[in-house]
Amino acid sequence: METDRRVVRSRAAMLAAAVRLVSERGTTAIPVTDLAAAADVSRQLVYLQFGDRDALLVAAAADLVTRELCHGAYGDVETGVLATAEHFARHRAFYRPMLTGSCSYAMTRTLNGVFAPLNGRILREHFGDLDDDTAADLGKFAAAGAGAIINDWLVDSQDPPDPQEAADRLLRLATAFRRRSP
């Protein structure tokens, strides 16, 4: 059991070190040696657990989103969208280099995978009669579209970014999904 706790602690330390170093340095071009030192683990352990630096950085992004957003109970879509925009604004120093660095494609794809099932459930509740494949595809479509808006907002907006601006943009688009044809 102790080994399991050490693995969990070292993994958490590596994920936290990745977020901290990318946020501080404003780049994803951080050597594995620096990530390992910041997490107080060996380079070998980084490679053993993640394979390479970019995989660690992407896992850190997925972990951050999952910890801060995916377990929240939001009463309505508007509250959830604003909480999401606030999360990305709060961690802009991390996400901005991730969106423009070497692992941007992998990170975007991973985060779309995190958000797609949630979006699929929301759209299924709205449309009601969706089969599993259609709900999954709509969830992916909505995650990728919302991700593109968040990505552009994080990269291009003034500093500090205004979460309400991003939330308003996303909610305007969501109204199109709320309309039902007769």
Q: Is 59:15 a contact under the CB 8 Å cutoff?
A: yes
Give how many domains the chain has, as a whole number. Answer: 1
Over residues 79-93, mean pLDDT: 93
Identity of the residue numbered 162: D
**CATH number of residue 9's parent domain:** 1.10.357.10
* Burial of 18 from C-beta contacts in 10 A (0-12 / 13-18 / 19+): buried
Q: Is the dihedral of CA 92, 93, 95, 101 positive or negative?
A: positive
For residue 1, pLDDT beyond 60: no
Residues spanned by the domain of 166: 2-178
Which tens digits make up the pLDDT trace of 99-117? Answer: 999 999 999 999 999 999 8
Which tens digits make up the pLDDT trace of 5-30? Answer: 888 999 999 999 999 999 999 999 99
Chain mean pLDDT for the chain: 90
Rounded Cα gap, residues 119 and 156, in angstroms: 25
Three-state DSSP class for residue 54:
helix
pLDDT classification of 181: cutoffs 50, 70, 90: very low
Which tens digits make up the pLDDT trace of 121-130? Answer: 888 887 888 8
Over residues 34-58, mean pLDDT: 97
In the chain, the percentage of residues whose pLDDT exceeds 70 is 93
For residue 176, pLDDT beyond 80: no
Q: Is 119:69 a contact under the CB 8 Å cutoff?
A: no
